[in-house]
A and B are shown apart, each in its own frame.
Chain A
Amino acid sequence: DTEVTQTPKHLVMGMTNKKSLKCEQHMGHRAMYWYKQKAKKPPELMFVYSYEKLSINESVPSRFSPECPNSSLLNLHLHALQPEDSALYLCASSQDTNTDTQYFGPGTRLTVL
């Protein structure tokens, strides 16, 4: 199984809502990543988890809160988002943070009203 799954596929939320994005992989990978991608732009790294510990936070606003409950799961909790946070949110995983290939999920298309 070389798949990274993400739920939901689409999410529409108001600025006062609290929601969560979920990511799952069963490849035994110990590094997991959250990216944000705006239209016609490359993915931008947000967070890196290595062995379930947060190792990189690319100065992401606190309204985005990542969580790694176990080695297969990665969540991104959203609260008080702004319309400019609307984007495609991608999850990826790799064997570890020194490994070359990342496997990306299909993404969650988030719209903040």
Chain B
Amino acid sequence: SQKIEQNSEALNIQEGKTATLTCNYTNYSPAYLQWYRQDPGRGPVFLLLIRENEKEKRKERLKVTFDTTLKQSLFHITASQPADSATYLCVSVSGGYQKVTFGTGTKLQVIP
């Protein structure tokens, strides 16, 4: 069955370092992957989208990659700040909205 996994439930890094979050999918090929940020008790906020024919996307300090051979997406936050602390969700979409799958999320803590 279609499955998407975020390999770390939690990640702690020092302020100023680059945070790298991983999303792996199995048994299907998503048309695109999205990354959302969610703060406690709040709705997810869209950050970046990358399509299957794209290798890399950037937005300010954020970068996402999509490797269809490894079936993996990496999400990077450079020069991380305590304000980046949140849960980050990987979401895959295939076959229109009929197949939307959320990852379980990675809780990022940036330590001052």
B84-112 CB contacts (< 8 Å) to partner A: 89, 93, 96-98, 100, 102-105
A106 touches B43 (CB 8 A): yes
Q: Give Cα distance in the complex from A42 to B35, angstroms.
A: 13
Residues of A in contact (CB 8 Å), total 25
State the total of A-B contacts with C-beta under 8 angstroms: 46
CB<8 Å pairs between A and B, sample of 21: A4-B43, A31-B97, A40-B105, A42-B102, A42-B103, A42-B105, A45-B100, A48-B97, A56-B97, A56-B98, A88-B41, A90-B43, A90-B44, A97-B97, A100-B34, A104-B36, A104-B44, A104-B45, A106-B42, A106-B43, A107-B43
Give me the interface of A with B, judged by CB distance under 8 Å: 4, 31, 40-45, 48, 56, 88, 90-92, 97-98, 100-107, 109
